[in-house]
Structure 1
Amino acid sequence: MAILLLHDDELGWSASQFNATWPQTPWSAFRVPSPVGRRFSVASRGGAPAVDLQLGRTSRPCTSQCAKFGRHDHLRWQSEPGVLGKGVLQLPAGRRDVDLLGYHERVRGRWSWPALGGWVFGFANDPAGTGDGPPPAAVVFTLIQPRDGQDTVNGSVMLWREGRLVRHFPRRGLEVVVHDVLDRDQVVLVPPLARSLGTGPTAGVPRRLVIVARMGRDRLVLDFTARTAARIANPCELGIRPFSVHETLGTCRVDGLVSGNRFDFAAQGIVEFAGGAGTEGDRTPFDRCDTAGTGAGGGT
């Protein structure tokens, strides 16, 4: 199953159905030993939306992280910011030439709903770079929330400088706060066929997410405010209830003091919340996240 999801500031969200065409061997920064660009082409069966990009890496990935939960489940993931994309987007309203700065991750393991519970991740690249090299700074945040057992909650905040990972804040050094929820009119259900799953009302999607990371004298603050979200409703592998992945777009402000050096930047960021597919009332993806399967993803 493959879904292509695009957002345009003027046109809003557009998505393929569950059967987007994609390369037999998907592009992955982890399979590319050099920054040489590779073609990445994914399209809706109807022709739009579609992307045809040359993707290239500018940064080094983090070390693989692993979380074990449930009886036999585990999850491993690696993150890499500063992915460059140059090419063409085919939107329902027409073609657009783009230069993009994004992120890529690889997720492996064995997990299922409802044991995993859900996840939250976000990233922001400092846009002040030259356009052909790594961003001056980049931040990635991850949090995994298994349904049972607080001791299995895992996550991290990672900081890159000029393409190199310079600080990894572990879960024990993180504080996570959400405030308010995004207006439901700003949350779009995709793909178009998602309504055929009998998807119930979504749980609230956090509008503001603040993460504070500390380790020794080092400190990093991410303050993300969402302005819009796409709710991807997926069929569940282990039952008839769908599960949701919310892709939220907004402004991320980053402020930090690392190794005695202070820095800050503001950028457009993406935060992904998995969960909230059912009718849990006022629960948010931080309270109950429903997910199944395996995958890899990224954003630009």
Structure 2
Amino acid sequence: MLERRWLHYAFLSVDGRLGLVANLAWLGSPQDGSEGTQRSTSILLIHRDGSGWEAGQFNTSTRTPPWSAFTRPHPHGQDGSFSLAAVSEAVAARLLLRRTGHPCTSQCAQFADGHFLRWQSEPGVLASGSWRFRDETFDEVAAVGYHERVRGRWGWPELGGWVFGFANQPVRTAAEQTRGPGHAVVFTLIQPPEPANAATASVMLWRSGRLLRHFPRRRVSVAVQGELDERHIRMVPELARLLGTPPMVTIPRRLVITAAAGDDRLRLDFRCESAARVVIPAETANTPFSVHEVIGAVAVEGVVSGRSVAFRTRGIVEFAGGSSDD
């Protein structure tokens, strides 16, 4: 069981043309304390409307140390540089990031025998800069997104799977592009196979950068409809195809998350459009683990603290789980 540390980033351009997902990971020594070699990996994925996903391998070049509100806190309104590029430069991003909100409290899931996962989210991160997709560079792209850190010790089969997503209210005017989205929503669903009560979930709503409402697991329900056509799913990195990677559970075409407590209610309706399947080696099993980064339209509606919440935008959802030979 390895110690894991992640920094996760996801952005969607204001004009709806581009989407970005990046993950920086560090793997530590075994839990028994024996000497081990720490390894670091990084991957960058970019989606272009009409062209699908493009990704690097797990050796993306990263500016060190990477920008993060968690490792090097930055005051609001202060830009920080963030740069990633595939070795081939098929995808690259050179951005200035700015915080407009505050993170949620740290959440933790315990499962299996001593495995645990701890994460903390911060939506409403503004980005500006250049993006490269294949042979074309897009300059002065304005985007809004999400940042997360993950810590823990776990194995992929023991983790089982998760569903995660976020949606920021559209940022269009010059003032909004300075102060950030009026509302932002993040949800999580983690589904370890054991013990029986290990599954956990949450839905969180930010208003003007402040966490306003946290709906816990027993107040959250999830429903899916249909299947995303395999023509809209691309496996990455490209070398994964050479390993005879078995299929994963299908991705739904529609995902609906509902949260309700007292007079407060919130509903997120995701329409999945395009997915990149990131194949990750499982250190403690023969079959790999997969993370699908899925982009699509999302509608958010509800009433929280006596005020209505309603907007339509584009969001990113992650579906993760183990592969199967079935």
Among 176, 185, 194, the residue aligned to 1:148: 194
Q: Cα gap change, 1:3/1:136 in structure 2, threshold over 3 Å: closer, same or farther?
A: same
The aligned counterpart of 1:68 is 110
Secondary structure class of the residue paired with 1:275: strand
Cα separation, 2, equivalents of 1:52 and 1:178: 36
Cα separation, 1, equivalents of 2:180 and 2:64: 28
Q: Which runs of 5+ in 2 are unaligned?
A: 1-40
The aligned counterpart of 1:2 is 42
Cα separation, 2, equivalents of 1:32 and 1:196: 41
Shift of 1:279: 2.9
Q: Does 1:264 align with 2:288?
A: no
Shift of 1:3: 1.0
Shift of 1:193: 1.1
Cα separation, 2, equivalents of 1:274 and 1:176: 15
TM-score (normalizing by structure 1): 0.90
Q: Does 1:167 align with 2:213?
A: yes
Among 30, 53, 66, the residue aligned to 1:13: 53
Shift of 1:71: 1.0
The aligned counterpart of 1:51 is 93
For 1:1-300, what aligned pairs fall within 5 Å after superposition? 1-30=41-70, 31-35=72-76, 36-97=78-139, 98-128=141-171, 130-280=176-326
Cα separation, 2, equivalents of 1:74 and 1:60: 24
Shift of 1:273: 0.5
Q: AA paired with 1:34? A: P
The answer on whether the counterparts of 1:197 and 1:242 sit within 8 Å (CA) in structure 2 is no
Cα separation, 2, equivalents of 1:2 and 1:196: 20
The answer on whether the counterparts of 2:164 and 2:189 sit within 8 Å (CA) in structure 1 is yes
TM-score (normalizing by structure 2): 0.83
Shift of 1:128: 4.1
Q: Deviations over 1:212-245 (max 9, x none)?
A: 1011110001111101111011112223321100
Secondary structure class of the residue paired with 1:193: helix
Cα separation, 2, equivalents of 1:95 and 1:84: 19
Cα separation, 2, equivalents of 1:33 and 1:47: 29
The structure that is strand-richer by fraction is: 2
Cα separation, 2, equivalents of 1:267 and 1:277: 31
Q: AA paired with 1:33? A: H
Could you say what the CA RMSD is over the residues aligned between the two structures, in angstroms? Answer: 1.3
Q: AA paired with 1:156? A: S
Cα separation, 1, equivalents of 2:171 and 2:42: 33
Shift of 1:254: 0.5
Shift of 1:150: 2.9
Shift of 1:24: 2.9
The answer on whether the counterparts of 1:57 and 1:83 sit within 8 Å (CA) in structure 2 is yes
Q: AA paired with 1:92? A: R
Shift of 1:20: 1.0
The higher-RCO structure (CA 8 Å, 6+ apart) is 1
The answer on whether the counterparts of 2:46 and 2:91 sit within 8 Å (CA) in structure 1 is yes
Q: AA paired with 1:117? A: G
Q: Which runs of 5+ in 1 are unaligned?
A: 281-300
Cα separation, 2, equivalents of 1:132 and 1:150: 45
Calculate percent identity across the aligned residue pairs: 53
Q: AA paired with 2:309? A: F
Q: AA paired with 1:68? A: Q
The answer on whether the counterparts of 2:157 and 2:282 sit within 8 Å (CA) in structure 1 is no
The answer on whether the counterparts of 2:161 and 2:322 sit within 8 Å (CA) in structure 1 is no
The answer on whether the counterparts of 2:74 and 2:99 sit within 8 Å (CA) in structure 1 is no
The answer on whether the counterparts of 1:199 and 1:278 sit within 8 Å (CA) in structure 2 is no
Aligned residues: 280
Shift of 1:207: 1.1
Shift of 1:118: 1.2
Cα separation, 2, equivalents of 1:276 and 1:241: 7
